[in-house]
């Protein structure tokens, strides 16, 4: 009896859950289906005709386009900018928890504002900034700019995670004469590794999918990141949907794996909860 309290009928809701999953996954399924259809089936009058399937689209996209270069570019940019953001935010999140200093609240508020400011607002001034620095059309443009949203994001998540770590261990270490830097490197980071990894993975997926900065700051085809590169295949108007969807599937694989592996940490750190407080 108590099991049922506050819950709707389990069988009906399980059925509805499957339905919801199907609706939300249909575009992704359609992406996969199109990617393994040959050209003539994609343009046949019945979209649900799966009489013969092929992997040609994948070979085509890997062979005819700069897809592999785009992956490498996205990877470099995402990893470097995430690393910078993580380092910066580990220190900041720690300082927000352990210290009381004047202006802390306003700094925290300021960082939140920075995270929430839409990128579509900042891209024009950042564009002039990047060109002034001579970084237009280089990796450095994106590596410099991505921490603008990654660092506040990481600080926010890490703050919640660090807070859940009991502070007794560090206090003992401090009493024994440990410096704060030593304390962070030897105690806080090792204890917080799960939280740091999951934050890093989430930041990687954000950087991986970023669109507007990558669109505006990069001009050379070989330097494009994955989302911009793949979207530009469509804008070409000559490319068929098969290879485009194959490219889309390939770009979805890394973030999918990333999310499914950190899921455990993700729910444990309960980042969404910090939203509601």
Partner 1 sequence: MNKGLKDRITLYKSVKRKEKYTGYLLSLPLLSVTVLVVIIPVIWLLLMSFTNKTIGSPSTFIGLANYFSLFRDDVFWKSVTNTLKFSVGSVIFQLLIGLAVALIINGSGIVKLVTRSLIILPWAIPGAITALVWLWMYYDINGVINYALRTLGLIQKDILWLANPTWALTAIIIVNVWRITPFVSIAIIAALQNIPHSLYESSALEGATTIKQFFFVTLPNLKSVIFTLILLCTIWSVGEFQIIHVITKGGPANATQTLATLAYEVGFRGSRLGQSVAISLAILPVVLTLILIISHFLKKAVT
What is residue 54's DSSP assignment? Answer: -
Size, binding site for partner 1 by CB under 8 A:
110
Minimum Å gap between C-beta 215 and partner 1 is 8
Interior angle at CA 117, CA 73 and CA 164, nearest 5: 85
Shortest Cβ distance from residue 144 to partner 1 (Å)? 7
13 contributes a contact to partner 1 by CB under 8 A: yes
Please spell the DSSP secondary structure of 102-119, one letter per residue.
TTHHHHHHHHHHHHHS-H
Contact at 8 Å (CB) between 145 and 130?
Answer: yes
> Is the CB of 196 or the CB of 244 nearer to partner 1?
244
- Specify the residue, 54 or 119, whose C-beta has the smaller distance to partner 1: 119
- Which sign, positive or negative, has the C-alpha torsion 113, 116, 118, 119? positive
Footprint of partner 1 on 14-33 (CB under 8 A): 14, 16-18, 20-21, 24-25, 27-28, 30-31
Q: Which is nearer to partner 1, 20 or 222 (CB)?
A: 20
Angle at CA of residue 208, ends 202 and 213, nearest 5°: 120
Binding mask 109-148 for partner 1 (x = CB under 8 A): xxxxxx-xxxxxxxxxxxxxx--------------xx-xx
Nearest approach, Cβ of residue 93 and partner 1 (Å):
9
Nearest approach, Cβ of 231 to partner 1 (angstroms)?
A: 5
Interior CA angle at 162 toward 158 and 166, to 5°? 170
Q: Helix or strand or coil: residue 179?
A: coil
Residues 112/152, Cβ–Cβ less than 8 Å: yes
Range 48-107, binding partner 1 (CB under 8 A): 48, 84-85, 87-89, 91-92, 94-96, 98-102, 104-105, 107
CA 81 to CA 150: how far, in whole Å?
8
Structure tokens at 261: 């592996």
CB-CB contact of 212 with 228 (8 Å): no
Residue list 204-243, contact with partner 1 (CB under 8 A): 205, 208-209, 211-212, 215-216, 226-228, 230-231, 234, 241
Among 75, 108, 139, 140, binds partner 1 (CB under 8 A): 108
Nearer to partner 1, 54 or 232 (CB): 232
Region 147-186 residues binding partner 1, contact defined as CB under 8 A: 147-148, 151-152, 155, 174-175, 177, 180
Given 167, 182, 261, 263, the residue binding partner 1 (CB under 8 A): 263
Distance CA 95, CA 153 (A): 16
């Amino acid at each position: 009896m108590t099991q049922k309290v506050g819950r709707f009928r389990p069988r009906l809701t399980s059925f509805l859950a499957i339905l919801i999953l199907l609706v939300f996954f249909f575009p992704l399924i359609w992406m996969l289906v199109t990617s393994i259809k040959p050209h003539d089936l994609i343009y046949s009058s019945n979209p649900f005709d799966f009489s013969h399937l092929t992997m040609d689209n994948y070979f085509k996209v890997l062979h005819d386009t700069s897809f592999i270069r785009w992956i490498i570019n996205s990877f470099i940019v995402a990893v470097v900018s995430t690393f910078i953001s993580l380092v910066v935010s580990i220190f900041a999140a720690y300082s927000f928890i352990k210290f009381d200093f004047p202006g802390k609240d306003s700094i925290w508020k300021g960082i939140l504002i920075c995270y929430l400011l839409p990128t579509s607002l900042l891209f024009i001034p950042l564009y002039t900034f990047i060109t002034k620095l001579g970084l237009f059309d280089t990796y450095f443009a994106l590596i410099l700019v991505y921490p603008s949203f990654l660092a506040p994001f990481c600080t926010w998540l890490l703050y919640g995670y660090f807070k859940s770590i009991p502070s007794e261990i560090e206090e003992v270490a401090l009493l024994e004469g440990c410096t704060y830097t030593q304390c962070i490197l030897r105690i806080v980071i090792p204890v917080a590794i799960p939280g740091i990894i999951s934050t890093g993975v989430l930041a990687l997926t954000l950087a991986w999918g970023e669109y507007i900065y990558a669109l505006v700051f990069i001009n050379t085809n070989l330097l494009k990141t994955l989302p911009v590169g793949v979207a530009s295949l469509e804008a070409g108007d000559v490319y068929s949907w098969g290879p485009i969807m194959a490219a889309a599937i390939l770009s979805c694989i890394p973030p999918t794996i990333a999310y499914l592996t950190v899921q455990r940490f993700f729910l444990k750190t309960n980042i969404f909860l910090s939203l509601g407080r």
